[in-house]
Amino acid sequence: MTLSVLMLSWEFPPFKVGGLAAHVYDLSKMLVKKGFEIHIVTCSFPGTKDYELVDGVHVHRFDAYEIPAPEFLQWDLNMNVLMERKAIEIIKKYNIDVLHAHDWLVALAAIGLKHLYRKPLLVTIHSLERGRRNGLFNDGQHMIDQIENQLIQEAWHNIVCSQYMQSLCHFSFTFPNDKMTIIPNGVRYNDFSIELSTKEKKEHHKKYAAENEKIIAYIGRLVPEKGVNILLNAVKLVLKKLPNTKFVVAGEGWHRNELERIARELKIEEKVLFTGYLPEEDFLPYFNVADILVVPSTYEPFGIVALEGMATKTPIIVSDVGGLSEIVDHRWTGMKVPADNSDAMADSIIELLTDDSLRKSIVSNAVEKLIHVYDWSIIADHTIKVYNKVFKDWKKHTWKTKEALKKRKPKKK
């Protein structure tokens, strides 16, 4: 059974904030290859078109700033009004079978469309506010938490990316596990496999470190839950044994100034480079010249960057939290360290830098796991099973518009 699906996502390439944009792009593209008709409603971005066909995916954009807003939560509420208006245009024009919403930012539009058109709503929960903030401490966070709760409860079925996220949804909102399916994120590992010439490698290496220095790399948003401060506190411990080591922090975020202050306070600023946002053309070469990729998160529902490191054949060290714990098999596909433990982080960095045999086996095993678990074709097949089951159950149900019920054939006596 092939279906027409309308996805709602506030971000989609070239507009990327976190891993959500990459997830929606890769999943939708693979679903099209498997015969599905995919429409995506998303925010516009300078230089993009209101409508375009991207690798077979129908991308419909709208101006998310049409209604002025003084702060982010108000902007999100306005954005949902505009997103719902755009989606109504699409549903009127195309025969949409299933609605698929990604995360709380599109919750109000998704719930409104569900009840307006009586279509089955599938929701992918990528993370939860109480996990991102390690609790709920103000009205804004409580508001987001309640929106997430409402979205999860309103969904016909939910997709979560890890066992950790399933447990978090279950215990946070007393939501039944049989209404959730665990489907991990994936990675286009073939696209990440690049070979730089010796000259190219030297050119890219010198952007970040001296010729004789090993590179310990981080890439991602600079926010507290990503745990970059834990990595910074491991720097001196590593340098005592391996002084020819450089720590490179790639990415942007509101926590950057605080991290730079920590580096100065620890007097390690000469051995730590903050690159800022990494341009697209430098993304893969950066991985290629890194000796180790570190993912020191204190909260991580999944951790796509770990898959990207595995795909570029870069040995990875991750915190033993959330989805990262499920991606990495300790000393087999990577190294796991206790969360918020700079001593353990330093020990693993030193061991990986000095044990070539361990590095090689980790890289080889990681690639094998990508092929058999995190291939987008496999993930799309799992998603299709959920789509088909949801649509089949909805077809049998009486929860439909009056017009749709009139079209139903009466049962034979």
For 20-35, the pLDDT digits (tens) are 998 999 999 999 999 9
- Output DSSP code: residue 220: S
Mean pLDDT of 185-191: 89
Q: For the residues 177-199, what does the mean pLDDT come to?
A: 89
At residue 50, the 3 state secondary structure works out as: coil
pLDDT at 408 over 80: no
What's the maximum distance between 2 C-alpha atoms anywhere in the chain?
83
Between vectors from CA 13 to CA 185 and to CA 301, what angle results, nearest 5°? Answer: 30
Q: What percent of the chain has pLDDT over 70?
A: 99
CATH of domain 189-373: 3.40.50.2000
* Domain edges within the chain: 4-186+376-407, 189-373
Give the pLDDT of residue 189: 86
Q: Note the pLDDT of residue 410.
A: 59
Hey, CA dihedral for 321, 325, 327, 332, is it positive or negative?
positive
Tell me, what's the pLDDT at 347?
98
Q: What CATH superfamily is the domain 4-186+376-407?
A: Glycogen Phosphorylase B; (3.40.50.2000)
Residue 221 tokens read as 């948003």
**What's the token pair of residue 188?**
């286009």
pLDDT of residue 412: 56
User: Average pLDDT, stretch 300-326?
Assistant: 93
**Is 401's pLDDT higher than 60?**
yes
Mean residue pLDDT of the chain comes to 94
Strands (E) located in 161-308: 180-182, 214-219, 245-250, 272-276, 292-295
Mean pLDDT, residues 311-333: 95
HSE-CB of 76 using CA atoms within 13 angstroms: 15
What pLDDT score does 239 carry? 98
Which residue intervals of 290-355 are DSSP H helices?
Answer: 304-311, 322-327, 342-354
Query: What are the tens digits of pLDDT across the range 72-82?
Result: 999 999 999 99
DSSP state of 49: -
pLDDT of residue 387: 98
pLDDT at position 407 over 80: no
Between CA 392 and CA 407 the distance in angstroms is 16
What DSSP string runs through 388-407? HHHHHHHHHSS-S-HHHHHH
Crossing angle of helices 107-117/72-93, nearest 10°? 30
Residue 169: is it exposed, middle or buried by C-beta count within 10 angstroms (0-12/13-18/19+)?
buried
pLDDT on residue 404: 80
Give the residue from 184, 159, 148, 133 showing the smallest Cα distance to 324: 184
Range in 146-155, 192-201, 294-303 with the lowest mean pLDDT: 192-201
Tokens of 269: 């600023």
Q: What are phi and psi of 408, to 5 degrees?
A: -65, 135
Question: Among the listed ranges 100-104, 129-133, 147-151, 291-295, which one has the minimum average pLDDT value?
Answer: 129-133
Q: Would the CATH topology of 4-186+376-407 be identical to that of 189-373?
A: yes
Q: How far apart are CA 348 and CA 336, in angstroms?
A: 8
Structure tokens at 198: 């010796």
pLDDT digits (tens, 9 = 90+) for 347-389: 999 999 999 999 999 999 999 999 999 999 999 999 999 999 9
Residue 18 has pLDDT above 80, yes or no: no
Residue type, 313: K
Q: Which two tokens stand for residue 165?
A: 């996220």
What confidence score (pLDDT) does residue 172 get? 94
pLDDT attached to residue 340? 94
pLDDT of residue 413: 52
pLDDT at 411: 56
Q: What angle do CA 188, 308, 27 make, to 5 degrees?
A: 40
Residue 197 confidence (pLDDT): 86
Among left, alpha and beta (phi > 0; psi -120 to 50; other), residue 174 is left
β 57-62/37-43 pair status:
parallel
